[in-house]
Structure 1
C-alpha cells in the first residue's frame, strides 16, 4: 500500500531508511552483485591460468610476477580516478563506462602472445575493474535502508570472492579443453551481455541526484520505485548541506583528507592494504605453491578456490554482526582469527581434508573482513566525498595487492616453504587488526543518515 506524504518536508535518506527492502532494491542488489562477481572472476583469473602459461610459454614462475601485478596497478589507478569522477559525473555513469572497459580488454587478453603484451592488457583491464567496484558499492550503500545497510553492502561485495572462487572451478574445467584463453574470453563476454540490462534498469543514487540538484521528477521516480510511497505530487526539493556552500566547494579528495576524516581515512587505507597483501599473495601464488607441494594443476586450482569461496560466508556473517555491534571492533576480531588460521593452514599440508577445511576457514576470516570494509567506510563520509572515500581506500589498498603479488614472486625465488610463508602473512593480519581497533575508537557508530546531508523534498498535499 502506498504511503502519502502531505505538506511536510521529507529528508530523502530518512525516507529511504524508513522503508523495507523493496523488489527494486533486490534488482539493484542483483546487478551490483553481478558486477563484483565478474570483477572477482577476472581479477583472480590470472592466478588460475599461471600454471598453464608456465607450461605453454616456457617461462619461469618468478617471470610471471609482472603479469600478476599488472592488473593490480590498473585496479589501483582505476579506483582512484573513478572515485572523484563518480562524485562529479554520477555513480551509474562511471559504472557503465568501467564495465565496458574491463569487458573489452579482457577479451583482448586472450590474444596476448608474450609476457609484455599480457602485462599491458592486464593493466588496461585493471583500470576498468578498479573503477567498477567502488561505484557498485557506493550505489547500493546510498540506496539501501540504514538498518540493513552493512548486510546489503556485504551481500553485494560477496560477489567478488564468489566470482574469484568461481574462476578456480571454471579454470579447472575450461583450461584442459579450451586453453587459458577461454577464461579471458568468458570474462569479457559475460559483462557485455549484462550491460544492456544494467543501463536500462539501474538507477542513479538518490543522494547524489539531490546533491547535484537533478530535476525533482527524476528523483521522485527513483524514490517511488525504492519506497512504498506516493511522491507523484512532489513540487520541489531544497538543498541543505550541513556545511553549506563552503563544504560543497571542497574537492572530494580534500574532504576525505581533512581533519575530521583523516585518521579514519588512514586507518581504512592501512587495513585494506594489509588485507589485499594477504589475499593476492595467496590467490595468485597458492596454485603454484601447491603444485610444488605435489598437487595436480586441477586440484591446486580447486583447493585455492576454497580461500575466496570462504569469504562469501564470512562477508555475510560480518554484515549481520556489523549491523548489531560496533563494526570496527567486529572486523578487528575477525582479523585476529585470520592470523591464527593462516598459521594453522601451513601446519596441516599432509592431511588434505583438514587442509581444505582450514583454507576455507582462513578465507572466511581474511576475505570476509576485507569484503566488509566498504560497508564500514560508507557511513563515515558525506555524499560529496563518499565515492572518493571508498574508491581511494580500494585504490590505495590495491598497492597492498601489488606488494603481495610481487612478494609472492620473491618468496618463490627464495624457495621459502609454504608453511613459513603463511606464518609471515599473520603479521599483516595483526597490523590490520590494530588499525581497525584505532578506527573503532576514533569513530563511534551513528544512526544518522548515510550522507549526513540535509537534503529534503517538500511534498505537496496529496489530492
Structure 2
C-alpha cells in the first residue's frame, strides 16, 4: 500500500477526539455551550424574582401565579421531547442555534405582555426554546470531549446553569427598581439574541454526527484540523465506528439493548428533579416554619446551589477516574441520608450542613447524570436520549413543585417532609446504579456475541 492509499485509509472520528488532548477549539465549544446553559439558568431564575412585582402590578392572587411558574416547566418538557429527536435527524448545531433564538424572541416578547394570559403563553414558548437548547448543548459538548475527560468537561460546562441562576437573582435585584419587571425580561431576551450570531459563526456541527451521516469529508477534516491537527488531514476519509440506526431515534431508546437502562435513567431523572425543585421552590417556606429569618432562608437556598456546583465539579472528576454509575449512585444515596438527617434536628447550623451536603450530592449528581445519559446512547440517538431523560425529569420537576403545595396544605410537618423527600434521592441512586449494571451486562453480551460471530466466520473460512 503506497503513501496515498495510507492517507485515504478511513479514520474513526471518535478515536481522533479520544486520543487527542483538549484543544483551544474544544474549550471554545465548551465555553459557548456554557454561555447557552447560563442563559438558560438566568431565564429560569428571573421568573421567580419578578413574580411578586407581576402580582402587584396586575393585582393577581397567589393561585394565579401557579400557572406562570408551571408554564415554563411545561415548555421545557415539550421542547426537550421534540428538540432531541430533531437534532438526531438534522444535526445538533442548527437545532441549538434555533432554540437559543427561539427562547430569546419569546422572552423579549414576554416583556410586552398585556396581561397574565399572554405572559403565561409566552413563558411556555420561552420554556419550549430552553428545552431544546440544554440537551443539545450537553450532547455537542459530550461529542467533542475525549472520553477520559468527558465527565470533567461536561460538569464544568453545566456549572453555567448554576451561575446563570445566581446572576438572575443579582441582576433582578439591581435592575427591577430602575426598569421594572418588563425590563428584566427584555434583558433576558436580548442576551441570547446577541449570542445567536456568535454561535452561527463559531459553533461547529458534531463531527460524530457528520461522519455517521456520511457527511462531507472536507467539512469533517476542517473541524478536526482545529481539534487535532497532527492526526487529521483534508486528504483523509472519515467514519464513525457505530451502528447506524435502522429506526427512529425515539424507538432506539426502547431497543432491547437500551430499554431497561432507559427506564432506569428516567426513574433517576424524574426523582432527582422532583426532589430538587421541591427544595428550590419550598425551602424558604420550610425555613420559615422552622423559625428561620428570611435572610437565613435565603442563605440556605444559596448553600443548596453552592453545594451543587462544588458537587458537580468534584463528582465530574471522580466519574472520569472510576465507574461513573457507582460514583453517582453512591452520591445519591449519601444525599438521601443527608435529606433524612434534616428531620432529626432543629439546629440552624446542622440544617446548613445538611442542606449543603444535599446540594453537593443530589444537585451535583443530577449534573453527572446528564454526563451518564450522553454516554449511554450511540450518536444516532444521543441527543434524543439526553433530551428525553431531561423531559421526563421536567415532569418530576412539575410534580415536585405541585407536590410541595399539596403536602404543606395537608399539614405535614417539616420532619415528615424531609423523611419522605429522602426516598426520591434513594430511588435516583438505585436507578443510576442498576442502569450501570444493565449496561455492563449488555456490553458483555455484545462482546461475547461478536466473538461468536468472528469464530464462526473464521471457521467457515478455514473449511472453505
Common topology (TM > 0.5): yes
For residue 159 of structure 1, report the CA deviation from its aligned partner.
1.7
8 Å CA contact 1:62–1:412 kept in 2: the answer is no
- Structure 1 158/240 Cα, relative in aligned 2: closer, same or farther at 3 Å? closer
The 5-angstrom pairing of residues 405-416 of structure 1 reads 405-414=401-410, 416=412
Q: TM-score, normalised by structure 1?
A: 0.87
Q: Residue 397 of structure 2 aligns with which residue?
A: 401
More helix by share: 2
From 322, 325, 332, the counterpart of 1:325: 322
Q: Does 1:275 align with 2:276?
A: no
Q: TM-score, normalised by structure 2?
A: 0.87
Q: Does 1:254 align with 2:255?
A: no
Output the CA distance in 2 between the equivalents of 1:184 and 1:344. Answer: 39
Q: Does 1:194 align with 2:195?
A: yes
For residue 325 of structure 1, report the CA deviation from its aligned partner.
1.4
Q: Residue 368 of structure 2 aligns with which residue?
A: 372
Q: What do residues 353-405 of structure 1 show as CA deviations (whole Å, max 9, x unaligned)?
A: 55444433321111111111121112221111111111111112210011111
8 Å CA contact 2:92–2:206 kept in 1: the answer is yes
For residue 300 of structure 1, report the CA deviation from its aligned partner.
4.6
Q: What do residues 112-150 of structure 1 show as CA deviations (whole Å, max 9, x unaligned)?
A: 454433322221111001000110110011111111011
For residue 418 of structure 1, report the CA deviation from its aligned partner.
4.2
Q: Residue 143 of structure 1 aligns with which residue?
A: 144
For residue 96 of structure 1, report the CA deviation from its aligned partner.
0.3
Output the CA distance in 2 between the equivalents of 1:50 and 1:346. Answer: 30
8 Å CA contact 1:175–1:183 kept in 2: the answer is yes
Q: Residue 74 of structure 2 aligns with which residue?
A: 73
8 Å CA contact 1:164–1:309 kept in 2: the answer is no
Q: What do residues 176-206 of structure 1 show as CA deviations (whole Å, max 9, x unaligned)?
A: 5544334322321221222211111111100
Q: Residue 331 of structure 2 aligns with which residue?
A: 334
For residue 348 of structure 1, report the CA deviation from its aligned partner.
5.6
Output the CA distance in 1 between the equivalents of 2:32 and 2:280. Answer: 25
Output the CA distance in 1 between the equivalents of 2:184 and 2:218. Answer: 44
8 Å CA contact 2:8–2:237 kept in 1: the answer is no
Q: Residue 461 of structure 2 aligns with which residue?
A: none
- Structure 1 419/188 Cα, relative in aligned 2: closer, same or farther at 3 Å? farther
- Structure 1 45/288 Cα, relative in aligned 2: closer, same or farther at 3 Å? farther
- Structure 1 172/344 Cα, relative in aligned 2: closer, same or farther at 3 Å? farther
Q: Residue 31 of structure 1 aligns with which residue?
A: 32
Q: Residue 155 of structure 1 aligns with which residue?
A: 156
For residue 337 of structure 1, report the CA deviation from its aligned partner.
1.7
Output the CA distance in 1 between the equivalents of 2:172 and 2:419. Answer: 28
The 5-angstrom pairing of residues 15-414 of structure 1 reads 15-112=16-113, 114-229=115-230, 231-237=232-238, 241-242=242-243, 247-290=244-287, 300-301=297-298, 303-345=300-342, 351=348, 354-414=350-410
Q: Tell me, what secondary structure is at the counterpart of 1:234?
A: coil
8 Å CA contact 1:62–1:409 kept in 2: the answer is no
Q: What do residues 5-56 of structure 1 show as CA deviations (whole Å, max 9, x unaligned)?
A: 8464421110111100001111011011111111122123323334444555
From 436, 440, 444, the counterpart of 1:444: 440
8 Å CA contact 2:151–2:320 kept in 1: the answer is yes
Q: Tell me, what secondary structure is at the counterpart of 1:259?
A: coil
- Structure 1 248/431 Cα, relative in aligned 2: closer, same or farther at 3 Å? closer
- Structure 1 296/181 Cα, relative in aligned 2: closer, same or farther at 3 Å? farther
Q: What is the number of equivalent residue pairs in this alignment?
A: 439
- Structure 1 109/280 Cα, relative in aligned 2: closer, same or farther at 3 Å? farther
Output the CA distance in 1 between the equivalents of 2:277 and 2:404. Answer: 9
Output the CA distance in 1 between the equivalents of 2:400 and 2:187. Answer: 26
Runs of 5+ unmatched residues, structure 2: 445-464
Which of 1 and 2 has higher RCO (CA within 8 Å, sep 6+)? 1
Output the CA distance in 2 between the equivalents of 1:305 and 1:237. Answer: 47
Output the CA distance in 1 between the equivalents of 2:208 and 2:404. Answer: 42
The 5-angstrom pairing of residues 3-18 of structure 1 reads 6=7, 8-18=9-19
8 Å CA contact 2:84–2:386 kept in 1: the answer is yes
Runs of 5+ unmatched residues, structure 1: 448-463
